[in-house]
Amino acid sequence: MTEPQRELQQPPTSPTPVWLRQDVAAGLVVMGVAGFALWQGASLATGTLGAIGSGMLPRALAILFGALGLMLTIGALTGDGTRLERWTLRGPVMILAGVVAFGLAVRPLGLAVAGPVMVLIGASASPETRWTETLIFSAVMTLFCVGLFKFALGLPIPLAPWLLGY
């Protein structure tokens, strides 16, 4: 039997089961995050459109995020999707570690230190990180955030209390 004939005789691959599709898993995770955000923001006052409360934006974003997760899941159920493959915990753990490090460092060390620390920890989530580009990106993003949050919006975020005193 020749090689092309052997390829034709192989049985067709079966469709990926619904619970093993990447889009279904991603949609469920997104909806879970949205549900968590709604739960955590439940005690915040929503207010009205005329007098917006502190909980309106988080609640609206959580609802939109959940709707996108639902659309992703429904879209995955309508056709055959890509099979969910093995993945490591390195990515999610390092991204979470970056966010936690930012939260812990922003008050005592300021945005000038916490911003680059978060970007560098988050960048270590991928083994393909190019560190020179990451350092440049962290510096540019930190300058952008300082300009936006500290100066343009006037938020009381410490810039560098260890150096400048504010």
At a CB cut-off of 8 Å and minimum separation 6, what does 71 contact?
27
Q: Region 121-147: what's the mean pLDDT? A: 94
Q: Is residue 160 part of a domain?
A: no
Q: Are 128 and 76 a contacting pair, CB within 8 Å? A: no
Q: Are residues 75 and 11 in the same domain?
A: yes
Q: Is the pTM for the entire model greater than 0.95?
A: no
Q: Which pLDDT band holds residue 82 (cuts at 50, 70, 90)?
A: confident
Q: Which of 86, 114, 142 is the last residue of a domain?
A: 86
* pLDDT recorded at residue 16: 60
- pLDDT at residue 11 tops 70: no
- pLDDT at residue 12 tops 80: no
Q: Which of 48, 63, 86 is the last residue of a domain?
A: 86
Q: Are 80 and 16 a contacting pair, CB within 8 Å? A: yes
